């Protein structure tokens, strides 16, 4: 757990759900090297701890989930790359973690903040939140994963967001499928946590297979087909598959082992 006052990120647990919280509300939760490496370390810990079945990613405050890279640090020459933790952060932003990630957009998510949020498998957004990629207005482009947003929303809308640098509100984000649900600002975390608990109640191996194959089906159908047979041999012969069947027959809740 991380409970140090003024820490740039906070970790908590709610049963099988690990909660990662960006914690720089005074800077609209802009990402620093410390935050990125800390989040990456938390991802590694979650993936190697069988008691963690889902990750909930959110921010502190009600103004912003994340405003992207800390431009003051970037302009000052801070090195944001390198290392196992940074690689794990990159996998999170690309949706490549082995466990489900639920995003709770407590406020606006733009630039790198939105790229990080897009690593979530499902997203609950505050009704007051806005979303967008302003990089084109700053002489940059959304190089941290934003250019793949067309795999999640219609291509024309993706290009409009990226090329104009303009923002959309939560209702529009829901209409185009960018977020899964919109909640009142004071209900975002609880709504996301309830969803995370519902997901975490399912079998870990089945969740891992479902997440990887569903994402690959959109980005690399040939690889998805190859991985399908691999996952079938793992999941359908697992102890959890047998436990799921027995629990159904015996009308009880299953006791998953993740194997």
CB 183 within 8 A of CB 126: yes
Contacts of 114 (CB under 8 A, 6+ apart): 66, 68, 131, 132, 133, 146
Q: What is the pLDDT of residue 81?
A: 62
Q: How far apart are the first and last CA of the chain?
A: 26
CA–CA gap between residue 103 and residue 114 (Å, rounded): 10
pLDDT given for residue 71 in this prediction = 59
Q: Is the pLDDT of residue 2 over 50?
A: no
Label residue 3 by pLDDT band (50, 70, 90): very low
Judged against a pLDDT cut of 60, whether residue 30 lies above it is answered with yes
CA neighbor of 34 nearest in space, from 19, 47, 24, 45: 24
Instruction: Lowest mean pLDDT of 30-39, 121-130, 167-176, 234-243, name the range.
Output: 30-39
For residues 162-177, give the mean pLDDT: 98
Give the residue-averaged pLDDT of 79-86: 76
Distance (Å, whole) CA 189 – CA 125: 9
pLDDT, tens digit (0-9, with 9 covering 90-100), for 131-148: 999 999 989 999 989 999
Q: Contact at 8 Å (CB) between 162 and 146?
A: yes
Residues recognised as catalytic: 115, 135
Q: Tokens 């640090």 belong to which residue?
A: 73
Single pTM value for the model? 0.91
Residue range 109-126, pLDDT digits in tens = 999 999 999 999 999 999
38-81 tens-digit pLDDT: 999 999 999 999 999 999 999 999 899 999 877 565 555 555 56
């Amino acid at each position: 757990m991380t409970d140090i006052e003024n820490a740039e990120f906070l970790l908590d647990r709610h049963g099988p759900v690990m909660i990662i919280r960006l914690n720089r509300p005074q800077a609209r939760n802009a990402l620093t090297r410390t935050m990125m490496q800390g989040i990456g370390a938390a991802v590694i810990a979650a993936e190697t701890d069988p008691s963690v079945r889902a990750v909930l990613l959110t921010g502190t405050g009600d103004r912003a989930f994340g405003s992207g890279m800390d431009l003051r640090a970037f302009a000052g020459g801070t090195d944001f790359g390198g290392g196992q933790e940074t690689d794990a952060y990159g996998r999170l932003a690309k949706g490549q973690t082995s466990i489900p990630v639920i995003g709770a957009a407590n406020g606006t998510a733009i630039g790198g903040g939105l790229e990080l949020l897009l690593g979530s498998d499902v997203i609950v957004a505050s009704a007051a939140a806005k979303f967008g990629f302003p990089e084109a207005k700053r002489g940059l482009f959304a190089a941290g994963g934003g250019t793949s947003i067309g795999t999640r929303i219609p291509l024309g809308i993706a290009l409009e967001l990226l090329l104009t640098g303009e923002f959309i509100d939560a209702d529009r984000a829901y209409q185009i499928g960018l977020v899964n649900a919109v909640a009142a600002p004071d209900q975002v975390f609880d709504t996301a946590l309830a969803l995370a608990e519902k997901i975490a109640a399912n079998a870990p191996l089945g969740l891992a297979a479902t997440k990887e194959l569903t994402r690959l089906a959109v980005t690399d159908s040939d690889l998805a087909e190859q991985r399908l047979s691999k996952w079938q041999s793992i999941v359908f012969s697992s102890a959890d598959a047998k436990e799921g069947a027995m629990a159904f027959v015996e009308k009880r809740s299953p006791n998953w082992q993740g194997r």
